[in-house]
Amino acid sequence: MVSVKPLADREEDPVRNYLTRIAAVPLLTAAEEIELAKQVEAGVFAAELLHSANDLPGTRAELATIVQEGESARIRMIEANLRLVVAAARAWIGPRLPLLDLIQEGNLGLIHAVEKFDYKRGFRFSTYAMWWIKQTIRRGIASQGRAIRLPSHAEETLAMLDRAVRTRDGQALTVAELADITGVPVRRVTKLLRCRDDTVSLDIPIGDGSGNTLGDFVEDGAAGAAFEDIEHREFNADLRARVDALPQHEAAAIRMRFGLHDGDPWTLRRIGDRLGVSQESARQVVRRAVARLRRSWEVESAA
């Protein structure tokens, strides 16, 4: 008798097979990361030099070898860190994109991180790579997972709402219950679910005893575009308020560096000239300001 796997098992096989393959790749130590990153950097530099070594056959052969070693190091760094992508992608599992699609998007961020990693800064590659992985996953969800594009911070909140639903094993949750579980205000939960491109969200009960569903409150018109504009303005207002709370010279440096004053980002040299300090000092001022902003958001998120 021929045994037939349940459909769910057959659908999960690609994911299971992929996870099995990447789990067999050894992780890298900090020293190995640095050595591979050096080889990647040398390979990129050698590739550039190849264009100016036309009359030196021996030199071209040496450079070609370095390029090959750099490419091998790049592939090894990517393969050894594929589990990072899976860890990030699991946090975004929902009805919009399957896990393998999320992993594919995250892998693009991992590749970019390997190519841009600066080992001389002293931090582990995973710290740097995770930021790029999450960025590409967010963008993938925004561009592929819905007809109406939402800001990345709105996508993050939607992912958190999806995770809350999964913790209840598919149990129907009211907007009020979602807000209570996640700590997101009821009004914001309602706006987010209203704008998402999933028809099931329109049937979610409001939870006020009236028997109404979310779909009863959806307005006609460009709700998604209006929401994006509101969210963008709210986010900018919050950012500017946090910048205003920084020490005066740090606030000025942040405004100039990221173009908050006129939409035109300044170079560190120009910032230094304006503040009357060196380019390196300007870099340190910006770095301290960014650290303060990050801590302010972390404190608020933990509250």
Q: State how far the Cα of 186 lies from the Cα of 192, in Å rounded to an integer.
A: 10
Mean pLDDT, rounded, for 72-92? 92
Q: Select the more confidently predicted residue: 185 or 208.
A: 185
CATH entry, 14-144, from 3.40.50.150, 3.30.2010.10, 1.20.120.1810, 3.90.550.10:
1.20.120.1810
CATH 1.20.120.1810 maps onto the chain at 14-144
* Lowest model confidence (mean pLDDT) among 3-7, 132-136, 138-142: 3-7
Q: Token pair for residue 5?
A: 């796997």
**Most confident listed range (24-33, 112-121, 144-153):** 24-33
- Average of per-residue pLDDT values in the chain: 73
Query: Rounded to the nearest 5 degrees, what angle is found at the Cα of 43, between the Cα atoms of 42 and 46?
Result: 85
Average of pLDDT values for 11-24? 80
pLDDT band, residue 299 (cuts 50/70/90): low
Q: Which amino acid is at 102?
A: L
- Using the CB atoms, write b or e for 218-229: b if 16+ within 10 Å: eeeeeebeebbe
Q: What average pLDDT score do residues 140-166 get? A: 63
Secondary-structure class of domain 245-302 per CATH: mainly alpha
Start-end ranges of CATH 1.10.10.10 in the chain?
245-302
Q: What percent of the chain has pLDDT over 90?
A: 16
Cβ-defined contacts of 261-268 (< 8 Å, 24+): none
Q: Which residue type does 234 have?
A: E
Q: What are phi and psi of 205, to 5 degrees?
A: -70, 140
d(C-alpha 195, C-alpha 61), whole Å: 57
Strand-pair partners of 205: 213
State pLDDT tens for residues 195-254: 654 433 444 454 445 455 444 444 333 334 443 444 444 445 666 777 888 888 888 888
Choice between 273 and 143, residue whose per-residue pLDDT is larger? 273
258 vs 298, which has greater pLDDT? 258
Q: Left if phi > 0, otherwise alpha if psi is -120 to 50, otherwise beta: which for 72?
A: alpha
Look at residue 13 and tell me whether its pLDDT is greater than 60.
Answer: yes
